[in-house]
Chains A and B, each alone.
Chain A
Amino acid sequence: MLQQLGHLPMGWLLIALIAVFASVAFFVGRIGAERILLSGAPALHSRPNYHGYFVAMWAIIPAVLVALVYAIGAEPFARGQLTSELPPAFDLLSAPELQTYLDSVSLAARSSDYAGTDLVFTAVTNRYLEIIGGLNIGALALMGVGAVLGLLFARRRLAASFRARSLVERGMEGVLFLCAVVAIATTAGIVISLLYESIQFFSVIPIWEFLFGTRWNAQTEAEFGALPLFFGTFMIALIAMFVAAPIGLFSAIYLSEYAGPKARAWIKPILEILAGIPTVVYGFFALLVVAPAVRSLALWINETLINIGLASEPLLAAQPTSALAAGLVMGIMVIPFVSSLSDDVINAVPQTLRDGAYALGATKSETVRNVVVPAALPGIIAALLLAVSRAIGETMIVVMAAGKSARISMDPTSDLTTITVQIVSLMTGETGFDDPKTLSAFALGLVLFAVTLLFNVIALRVVQKYREKYD
């Protein structure tokens, strides 16, 4: 019986029940208010609908709380309970093995045709379903009781002078506030989960070894010196900025100082298309077009250098995937980040500064170079910092076109790996959460988060300070 209940589609059921409770309670409240009116009360303080909302609010608050507790707590509780009931033989399993076993149990329980040859597994899964079934029926019952109690409590308070609207509005404001707090919760979630897993990782691998070690071989040898990854990330971001900074900056200058309104209306959205293209498309472009082109160029350079006697052996690595290919394409991707923001700050430079320069006899380009750009410099630097932060955090282009070998090499045609590439390759394997491999991905993620956050904070500070100056 309990076992069957374990198969209940709880997600849908909870949502549907909350909707049912809410609508029933609403009508109870509304009809209650109308009765008060019919019984000859002079006037209600709040309109009947608000009485309805009030009762509905009280009915679903307990229901939603129960549903939330269930959603967060049911699975961990069931696993904990199951683990404590497992026969002693299971004590031989290490924590990750047990985790994997429990994963397969809960997966089997979901698919409902797990009755295989392994009797122990079937028995464990049955027991798991029983526990879940108990939790399910308990949650549903608790929800019902809570909703009914809330409804009755709220219904009793209805009266002609009852200020239902004020209370509903206060409740609504609470909901709005909670929605805004999700932003804090998300940041907190990121920081806590990254820190939690990273601390576990650093208890196995010393932090200085991680930050300054030069050998990265996480997949096979458990060597976690991340310096080559930092180097690769830095190198590719640098190449990207070599592309994006001049192109983005000159585009912004042209758009804001030279282009007519018509050209501007066309070119600006087209440039912004570059920011809207999914990064996986850039990655494929890098793989399909840019990487082969870079490779043949490198091979040609090698050959030419040997032919004219400047080198005796190939100078460039000329690998099929290379830092240069990834960097070039990433550069194209971040152009709009540079140009858009630079355009804004250049436009914000007061016209009087330009007029002053013209009055001194400066040509347009001299004005731009010596007056407008220096005046806009903080904003431009902020734009560049934001673009660097984009480039560092970008994943798909490097995963597809930059390669996987962790090395420190100044040769841009060799394949370098980055923080993001390694996170993806570590997390897409079949390893449990207690494995140092998986944990190292979180340590890398922490570094990535910290660095990009730093860049963003500096950039935002710079922009704010700068804006205050001219407003």
Chain B
Amino acid sequence: MTDPAASSFSTPEALKRLKRRRAADVRFRYYGLGAIFLALSALVLLVLSIGSQAVSAATYHVVRYDITLDPAVITPPGETTPEDIARNVDGFWELARDNLLETFPEANRDRASRIEVSEFITRLAVLPTARKVAARPEMVGNPITLTAPLNDDLDLYLKGQALPERRLRTGTITAVTAQEDGFALLEGQGAFTPILTALTTLQAEGVSMDEGSILITAGGATGRLHGIQAGTARLELLTGTLDAFRNSTAAARLIALPEAQRVVSDQQIAWTFALKEMGRISRVPRWTLLTNSDSTYPELAGGLAALVGSLFTMLVTALVAIPIGILAAVYLEEFAPKNRLTDFIEVNINNLAAVPSIVFGLLGAAVYINFLGMPRSAPLVGGLVLALMTFPVVIIASRAALKAVPPSVRSGALAIGASQMQTVFHHVVPLAAPGILTGAILGMARALGETAPLLLIGMVAFVGDVPTSPTDESTVMPVLIFTWANNAERAWEPMTSAMIVVLLAVLLLMNGLVVFLRRKYERRW
């Protein structure tokens, strides 16, 4: 034996090499960890970015209007039946708008202001109230409270997502004097120094306030500031009374974006604050996301029609894909002779599971719609297309489950005189049922999230009504998400995220069910 210390593995070069090799070893391990970290952080980023948007869409602002159901407007001569009332959206809307005009007399000064105030409430937003009144026509003539969603842009503004703005408080304003040119002079020792400081900071950050607005609010009154100095400023009152500013500190908002480039005007912001001060605006959960159907107005849109459409589509898919998939799996696993034909079937199944989903859409368009003349946009066709995509998945899962049933079960059944068919359907299939079921649920979950093939068979059309049968025009949840994501208005972004959360929740539920079934019924033979 040679002395280990003298071996070529302990020379300084070798030790150095060993150190390098060990370092490489550690590095390699970290590459692996890093890869997993990257993948997981992508998932976290996706969930967080969509989740945070969805949270903001989970609630929205509604405005209360205390109106009297004037018969002259609600039931004009000749339109007095309940159906007429339900259809008289314009009448209800006018009452709500007039209520705003009463609240804000300054809105009456010109046409532009009247349009601005009328943007607070969408015409269709009064529809639920109109239907309620139509159901009880005796309410006409009485005062009621109408609650309707706030315009989506103002809703986003109140949530702080529409405009970047800087908020601060002024010092105490001691004197307010109305001037002849319509402006008012505000005075107070150093009252406006905070604003001047903020303006300097903004300028240093490269943000130009030249065309922006400085709004101050006290009580229910809001105005725009001009000519700001440390102790004085000129106020252009937008709503409310000047008195509100006297002996108070006002909340100031610095909005850099010029008014012409915004979706909400200073005047509308002022009215919104006034309504809020009156307690007429409240933030409530957006249940309409699940109870309304699609709309061109984000504040009214919901996913009910798409949910029902998805339900019908999945029903068709399940009714076609699951039985065919299970029976085909039973045949291939239990009955098929080993020959060229069954080999060919197996190759086909494996390939079908990997064919891009959009190709199934082309197949559906060519065969179901063009050749068989089935209706476009119908859950029936969508379900059949998805069934073709899903049944290979069901077959593969069912075969695995059937394979897992030990041969002793078959032998036992055959030994007591059961025919092969009886063996399979009385013993093997029931034992494989949990596995088959989980495979079927996973296949359905995949089908539920599928979008591309459904676009090709016309399920992308706008659908405002809840479908009542599988042949009605309809859309499904993923396609609704796609449609909403393509809409330009900012308010659609959180709505889309919220709809995604609904879809993911359903998928999570299905996968949770799979895990539960596996835990409960999984059996090791």
- Which residue numbers of A lie inside 8 Å of B, CB to CB? 11, 71-72, 75-76, 79, 106-107, 110, 165, 169, 172-173, 175-177, 179-184, 186-187, 189-190, 193-194, 196-197, 246-251, 253-255, 257-258, 267, 270-271, 273-274, 276-285, 287-289, 332, 335, 339, 363-366, 368-369, 386, 389, 392-396, 399-400, 420, 423-424, 427-428, 433, 441-442, 445, 448-449, 452-453, 456-457, 460
Contacts and interface: CB of A to CB of B under 8 A. Distances in A.
B366 interface: yes
B359 A427 contact: no
A423 B356 CA distance: 12
Interface stretch (B45-53, B185-193, B256-264, B296-304): B45-53
A40 to B, nearest CB: 26
Nearest to A249: B35
Contacts of A335: 39, 42
B359 A393 contact: yes
A283 B482 contact: yes
B279 to A, nearest CB: 35
Given A366-B24, A424-B452, 8 more contacts: A76-B373, A187-B351, A270-B43, A285-B46, A393-B355, A400-B486, A424-B455, A427-B455
Q: How large is the interface on B (under 10, 10 to 19, 20 to 34, 35 or more residues)?
A: 35 or more
Interface string B366-378: 1100111111000
Nearest to B461: A428
Contact of B330 (A176, A270, A368, A457): A176
30 contacts: A72-B372, A75-B374, A169-B420, A172-B421, A176-B328, A186-B352, A247-B39, A251-B35, A254-B31, A254-B32, A267-B36, A278-B449, A280-B481, A285-B46, A285-B49, A288-B493, A289-B46, A363-B24, A365-B24, A386-B354, A393-B356, A395-B358, A395-B451, A396-B452, A399-B482, A428-B460, A452-B355, A456-B350, A456-B354, A457-B351
B346 to A, nearest CB: 8
Tell me which of B360, B371, B460 has the highest count of chain A C-beta atoms within 10 A of its own C-beta: B371
A58 B444 CA distance: 33
B351 A180 contact: no
B471 to A, nearest CB: 7
Contact of A193 (B354, B363, B391, B478): B363
A453 B355 contact: yes
Contacts of B40: 267, 270-271
A365 to B, nearest CB: 4
B335 interface: yes
B33 A284 contact: no
Contacts of A186: 348, 352, 363, 388
Nearest to A281: B500
A251 B32 contact: yes
A258 B325 CA distance: 38
B450 A278 contact: yes
Interface in B385-416: 388, 391-392, 395
A47 to B, nearest CB: 11
B355 A176 contact: no
Interface in B483-525: 485-486, 493, 496-497, 500, 503-504, 507, 511
Contact of B451 (A246, A279, A285): A279
Contacts of A197: 366
A442 B366 contact: yes
B31 A250 contact: yes
A11 B472 CA distance: 13
Contacts of A249: 35
Given A190-B363, A420-B358, A169 B349 contact: no
Given A288-B49, A394-B356, A420-B358, A280 B482 contact: yes
A428 B455 contact: yes
A276 B515 CA distance: 14
B327 interface: yes
Contact of B32 (A184, A193, A253, A441): A253
B230 interface: no
Nearest to A270: B40
A448 B359 contact: yes
Contact of B362 (A182, A251, A442, A452): A442
A284 B496 contact: yes
B320 to A, nearest CB: 9
Contact of B45 (A247, A267, A289, A427): A289
Contacts of B335: 173, 176-177
B456 A190 contact: no
B28 interface: yes
B449 to A, nearest CB: 3
A180 B349 CA distance: 9
Contacts of B363: 186, 189-190, 193-194
A348 B227 CA distance: 78
Given A251-B39, A420-B356, A368 B511 contact: no
Nearest to A256: B32
Given A106-B373, A281-B500, A258 B50 contact: no
B474 to A, nearest CB: 14
B478 A71 contact: no
Contact of B332 (A180, A369, A428, A456): A180
B34 interface: yes
Interface in B311-342: 323-325, 327-328, 330-332, 335-336, 342
Contacts of B478: 278, 280
B245 to A, nearest CB: 41
Tell me which of B358, B445, B471 has the highest count of chain A C-beta atoms within 10 A of its own C-beta: B358
A365 B361 CA distance: 46
Nearest to A190: B363
Interface string B15-44: 000000110110111011111101110110
Contacts of B479: 280
Contact of A71 (B38, B365, B370, B372): B372
Contacts of A396: 451-452, 482
A338 to B, nearest CB: 10
Tell me which of B350, B351, B448, B496 has the highest count of chain A C-beta atoms within 10 A of its own C-beta: B351
A421 to B, nearest CB: 10
